[in-house]
Amino acid sequence: MLIRHAKEFANLFRKHKYERSPQGVYFPSAHITVSGLYSVRTNDGPWEDSPNLLPTEGLNTLLNNLIANTGVPLYLSLYKDNIAPAAGWTGGTGTNYVSTANEITSGSEGYTQATRVLWNAAAASSATKDNYASVAVFTIITGTTLPVWGVGLHKVSTKGDTTAFSLVSATQFNAVRTFVNTDEFDVKYRLAMTSS
């Protein structure tokens, strides 16, 4: 769940819409707490709980292992319907991203790349992982104009793929972006983690 909603959590952090507590980090608008807990005992005695703090190095390690070290690269796509992402969106069956958001899959009315664009993220640093040093570029192709309302992040490169558990993140822009032929649309994505 953390990976699927990572961008939402990162946005809430940047806007300071969270609360720190001994139990972890609480996101009131999402009704979600992110936390960790050790449980210890001696000689089959009673268990005692001890909340943890993840240092930046630990957060970097988690980010690198969740993404880079899994051997599964991630890819960005564009969608054209005016719809906000929902927790129930999936990459596969049910309320899938491809049909619900109307993923742009055309090579003549969309973008020229044959597949979704690689999210080429650098190693995690300062508890964040991003592609800021290697921005994803979509080269627009259209006979008139192309409306784009949002971006998705996936584990599968094929445009329009509906493999189960492949949608990692999605966002809707504040307003439609309208492109003309040969426009270049740059996309950066940052995943951030924190610990209390």
Count how many Cα atoms sit within 13 Å of the Cα of residue 15 in the half-sphere of its side chain. Answer: 10
Question: What pLDDT is stored for residue 118 in this prediction?
Answer: 95
Per-residue pLDDT tens over the stretch 115-168: 999 999 888 787 677 888 998 999 999 999 999 999 988 888 999 998 776 788
Give Cβ neighbours of residue 55 (< 8 Å, ≥ 6 apart): 195
- The tokens describing 143, both together, are 């006979």
Tell me what the mean pLDDT of segment 13-20 comes to.
58
Residue with tokens 């819409």: 17
Separation of alpha carbons 100 and 98, rounded Å: 6
Q: What is the DSSP letter of 68?
A: G
pLDDT at 1 over 50: no
Per-residue pLDDT tens over the stretch 69-101: 555 688 999 999 999 888 778 887 666 889 999
Tell which phi-psi region holds residue 98, choosing left (phi > 0), alpha (psi between -120 and 50) or beta: alpha
Separation of alpha carbons 66 and 196, rounded Å: 20
Give Cβ neighbours of residue 66 (< 8 Å, ≥ 6 apart): 2, 3
Question: What pLDDT is stored for residue 86 in this prediction?
Answer: 81
Amino acid found at 157 = S
Domain positions in the chain are 6-192
- Is the separation of the CB atoms in 143 and 181 below 8 Å? yes
Model pTM score:
0.71
